[in-house]
Amino acid sequence: MAASVMSVAPTHAASPVSFGVELGVVSRDIEEEGDLVKGTPTGIVDSTQLTARLGVQLAPPVLLFGEFGVADIVIDEFDQYRSDVHPLYGGGARLVLFEGAYPEQVSVYSDVRIVRLKTDDRLIVCTANCSGPLPVEVLVDEEISWTEYGVSLGIRGRYEGWRPFGGFRVSRLEGTDRVGAVTADIREREMVGFFLGTDIWLDRDERAAITVQLSGIDENALRIGYKVAF
């Protein structure tokens, strides 16, 4: 998910603290395997996520950030699983590997990010005679949770009031689908993806910006956010 973090403006001293909010619509292919299922079924997770992020710059090349928000998930292939909104939380770090001179200020950076999400839903599941006229159905509580790990390498530049960026990401899902004491492991189907977007500065000091970002392959996502440096 590699959402952008407030960049440091070259026209003033580096801001040690930044804050941002972001709305994302995310879709990702997953598969699961275990006692809960037969074979290796696949599905598409659709999620709407609203998060807030606080960043603290420890030194010119290092920024730490934490985030907290809410998200839901929908997986039609898994018995029409539809969760309510649940807490999403995580954090990570950004390391600036190269910083060019102003005004282009081309920079190369790497992000490491970990995010945790735990959801639940109550479903009607067929247990016997599913194709017959009188199927046997029961009401069950199902819990789907996972941790996502991501490492990205990106490059960003400058064009007038825009700060375009893009790069590649490797991400991994480690999750569990649980019904009672029976479980199945959830994992990603694609590990490698790309992202691209831009920051649009809202002030001359380049402290506040709107961010738009697209992601593809490992996840298909659109994220729009607002961030400000203090």
Give the separation between CA 115 and CA 175, rounded to whole angstroms. 12
Residue 190: C-alpha distances to residues 32, 168, 171, 174 (Å):
13, 13, 8, 13
Overall residue count recorded for the chain in this entry: 230
- In the prediction, which pLDDT does 46 show? 98
- Spell out the per-residue pLDDT of the chain, length 230, in tens: 444 444 443 434 457 999 999 999 999 999 999 888 766 799 999 999 999 999 999 988 999 999 999 999 999 998 889 999 999 999 999 999 999 887 778 999 999 999 999 999 988 777 777 778 888 888 889 999 999 999 999 999 998 889 999 999 999 999 999 988 889 999 999 999 999 999 999 998 889 999 999 999 999 999 999 999 98
- In the prediction, which pLDDT does 7 show? 44
Maximum separation of any 2 CA atoms in the chain, in Å: 73
Nearest-5° Cα angle at 156, 164 to 101: 120
- In the prediction, which pLDDT does 12 show? 45
Give the separation between CA 208 and CA 217, rounded to whole angstroms. 30
Question: Is residue 75 classed exposed, middle or buried when 0-12, 13-18 and 19+ CB atoms within 10 A define those classes?
Answer: buried
- In the prediction, which pLDDT does 5 show? 43
Domains of the chain: 17-229 (2.40.128)
Question: Is residue 67 classed exposed, middle or buried when 0-12, 13-18 and 19+ CB atoms within 10 A define those classes?
Answer: buried
- In the prediction, which pLDDT does 136 show? 80
* Token pair for 118: 């735990």
Give the separation between CA 128 and CA 228, rounded to whole angstroms. 56
Question: Is residue 188 classed exposed, middle or buried when 0-12, 13-18 and 19+ CB atoms within 10 A define those classes?
Answer: buried
- In the prediction, which pLDDT does 14 show? 58
Give the separation between CA 214 and CA 167, rounded to whole angstroms. 11
In 3D space, the residue among 99, 218, 92 whose CA is nearest the CA of residue 156 turns out to be 99
Query: Which parts of 38-106 are beta strand (E)?
Result: 42-59, 62-75, 81-82, 86-99
- pTM of the full structure: 0.87
- In the prediction, which pLDDT does 2 show? 42
